[in-house]
């Protein structure tokens, strides 16, 4: 009888522990992936109207562009500067090689590009090919709403664009906007604006184009539309197209606000935040 009472008491203790564990707050990495999503419009409160020193703008280190023989980082920085100019207070601005804020390492280093920050706001300009932080979020931890993808269509034509992340959709990745090898990037491009929370409770905003003109167009779009349009973007990801218009029979190859069109809005349930 005493043994039976002891076993019942032990079982009750175990049950109490399990109940407490189920009620305890879970780390973000164990929470529903839906909780990682925040609406793009939150950039207004978290970036534009943020208090001084709360936001970190991170762009690709231009030193690497010499090896790549490509000036794209200069335009990523220019686009970041456009967004930064709309902030209400002084914020941090630096490169993805700054070891005060970002984990550094050789190619293939697992955590290269991981922010060292916690519970801050981070704005990233430039795609994963040049921005270590974007590469970390897209490829290492894979928590961006969409990611850059390359493939071939049924005719064998090279296509490249943005695909959905199965982490959020529980579906096979879907290519939602793309270009082909036949498109001239001097006059056409795509860019994404997306937002989410990382595993260290940082609010992350990512803006980049498939090419540097796409990232440049993202900055121009933000500058021109941040008041009347961005404040209404209540989903976590949008893709836009820039296509140069002929003016007086001539295409200048420069992104202009009236040449930018939204082509994709994240179709899944709206984030609650």
Is there a domain that residue 14 lies in?
A: no
Is there a domain that residue 2 lies in?
A: no
Is there a domain that residue 197 lies in?
A: yes
Is there a domain that residue 26 lies in?
A: no
Domain interval for residue 67? 37-265
Is there a domain that residue 15 lies in?
A: no
Q: Which residues are CB-contacts of 123 (< 8 A; sequence separation ≥ 6)? A: 47, 55, 56, 57, 58, 80, 83, 84, 205, 207
Is there a domain that residue 168 lies in?
A: yes
Counted domains in the chain: 1
Is there a domain that residue 9 lies in?
A: no
In whole angstroms, what is the distance from residue 214 CA to residue 192 CA? 9
271: DSSP letter: P
pTM: 0.85
48: DSSP letter: I
Each residue's pLDDT, cut to its tens digit, for the chain (273 residues) gives 444 444 444 344 433 333 333 333 344 443 456 678 899 999 999 999 999 999 999 999 988 776 665 666 788 999 999 999 999 999 999 999 999 999 987 655 678 999 999 999 999 999 999 999 999 999 999 999 999 999 998 889 999 999 999 888 888 999 999 999 999 998 999 999 999 999 999 999 999 999 999 999 999 999 998 878 898 999 999 999 999 998 888 888 889 999 999 999 998 766 655
Is there a domain that residue 103 lies in?
A: yes
């Amino acid at each position: 009888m005493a043994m039976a009472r002891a076993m019942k008491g032990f079982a009750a203790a175990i049950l109490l522990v399990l109940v407490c564990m189920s009620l305890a707050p879970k780390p973000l990495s164990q929470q529903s992936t839906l909780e990682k999503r925040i609406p793009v419009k939150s950039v207004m409160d978290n970036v534009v109207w943020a208090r001084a020193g709360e936001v970190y703008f991170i762009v690709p280190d231009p030193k690497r562009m010499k090896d790549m023989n490509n000036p794209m980082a200069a335009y990523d920085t220019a686009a970041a500067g456009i967004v930064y100019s709309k902030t209400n207070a002084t914020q941090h601005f630096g490169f993805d090689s700054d070891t005060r804020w970002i984990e550094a390492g050789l190619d293939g280093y697992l955590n290269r590009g991981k922010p060292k920050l916690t519970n801050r706001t981070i704005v990233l300009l430039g795609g994963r090919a040049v921005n270590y932080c974007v590469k970390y979020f897209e490829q290492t931890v894979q928590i961006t709403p969409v990611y850059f993808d390359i493939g071939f269509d049924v005719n064998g034509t090279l296509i490249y664009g943005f695909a959905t992340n199965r982490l959020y959709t529980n579906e096979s990745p879907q290519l939602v906007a793309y270009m082909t090898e036949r498109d001239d990037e001097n006059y056409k491009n795509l860019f994404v604006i997306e937002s989410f929370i990382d595993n260290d409770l940082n609010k992350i905003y990512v803006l980049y184009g498939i090419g540097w003109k796409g990232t440049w167009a993202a900055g121009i779009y933000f500058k021109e539309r941040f008041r009347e349009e961005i404040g209404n973007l209540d989903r976590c990801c949008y893709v836009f197209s820039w296509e140069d218009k002929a003016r007086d029979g001539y295409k200048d190859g420069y992104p202009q606000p009236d040449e930018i069109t939204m082509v994709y809005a994240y179709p899944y349930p709206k984030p609650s935040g």
